Amino acid sequence: MTATKSASGVFHIGGELPVRRIGFGAMQLTGPGHWYHPTDMDAALAVLRRAVELGVNHIDTADAYGPETSEHLIRKALRPYPDDLVIATKGGMTRQGPNRWAPVGRPEYLRQCVEISLRRLALEQLDLYYLHRIDPHVPLADQLGVLTEMRDEGKIRHIGLSKVTIDQINQALSFTPIAAVQNRFNANESDRKMLDHCTRTGTAFVPYAPLDQGNLAQPTTDADGTGQLSPAQRTLAWLLGLSPVVLPIPGTTSLDHLTENLDTPIPLADVVRG
C-alpha cells in the first residue's frame, strides 16, 4: 500500500486520502462507559465543529460508541461535510451496557453495520471502515469477504483492522488490501514490532488512547528542549516522531485541550526512534 507524508505533516491513507497527522477520536463524546449520550450535548457538538475549524480532517468513530451516539453527533455537528474530511468508522462490535463489548462478525451483521453507518452519517461511501474486532467464531474470510463486497459496491473506500496482531494482518492481506491498523499504543503501552510492520508496508497506524486516557497529559516540570510543550504535546510529538505512518487521534470533550493537542509541532524528521 503506497503512503506518503509531506513536510506539512500530511499523510495519504491508502495512498490517496490526505489527512493531517493529528486527527480527532470521537469515542469520548458519549456518556460514562461509552454508553448513551454525553452529559452536555452542546459541548460535544462544539468540540467537533472546533476541531474541523482548527484543521482536523480525520475523525475516527464507531457504531458501538454510544452505541450510535458518536456517529449521530458527527452528522449533526458537521453536515454538510467539508470536501476534505475523512470520517473513519467501525463495525462488528455489539454493546451490552456501559464498558461492555462483544464482537460479532457474521457477514449479514457486518453488512447491516455498514448500511446503517452510511445512513446515520448521511454518506454514500465510507472513506475508511474498520473491522472493529475480529470475531474468533467466524472465519476471517467471511468477515473480510463481505467488507470487500461492499467496497466493490462503492459503499466502502478503504478497509482497516482494529486491535489485531501482525499474523492477523498477514492473514487479512490474502483477502484484501488493508489501508490502516488501529491498535492501542502510547508511551506506556507500545508494540514496536507492529509499528515497524506498518512503517515497512506504508500502512496507516492509528494509535488509540495515545495519551493513555489522560495519564500522559499530567503536569510536569520537564522541558522538551525546543520551548515549553505541555505533557500532552510532548507525548503526541513523540508519537509523531516514531514513524511517518503514525496518525494519533486524541479525543477530548474540552475545547482548551483540543486546541492544545492540535498545536503540537510536527517533527521535522520523517522517522525519529524514541
Residues with catalytic function: 65
> In this structure, are residues 29 and 70 in contact, taking their beta carbons and an 8 Å threshold?
yes
Would you say 120 and 129 are in contact if contact means Cβ atoms under 8 Å apart?
no
Q: What phi and psi, each to the nearest 5 degrees, are found at residue 224?
A: -100, -5
Q: Provide the b/e sequence for 208-232 (b: ≥16 CB within 10 Å).
A: bbbbbeeebbeeeeeeeeeeebbbb
- 51 vs 134: CA distance, rounded Å: 30
Site of grid cell 492540535? 262
Determine the angle formed by the axes of helices 41-53 and 255-262, rounding to 10 degrees. 20
Say what angle helices 69-78 and 107-121 make with each other, to 10 degrees.
30
- 54's CB contacts (< 8 A; 6+ apart) are 258, 259, 262
25, 162 in Cβ contact below 8 A? no
Coil, helix or strand at residue 10: strand
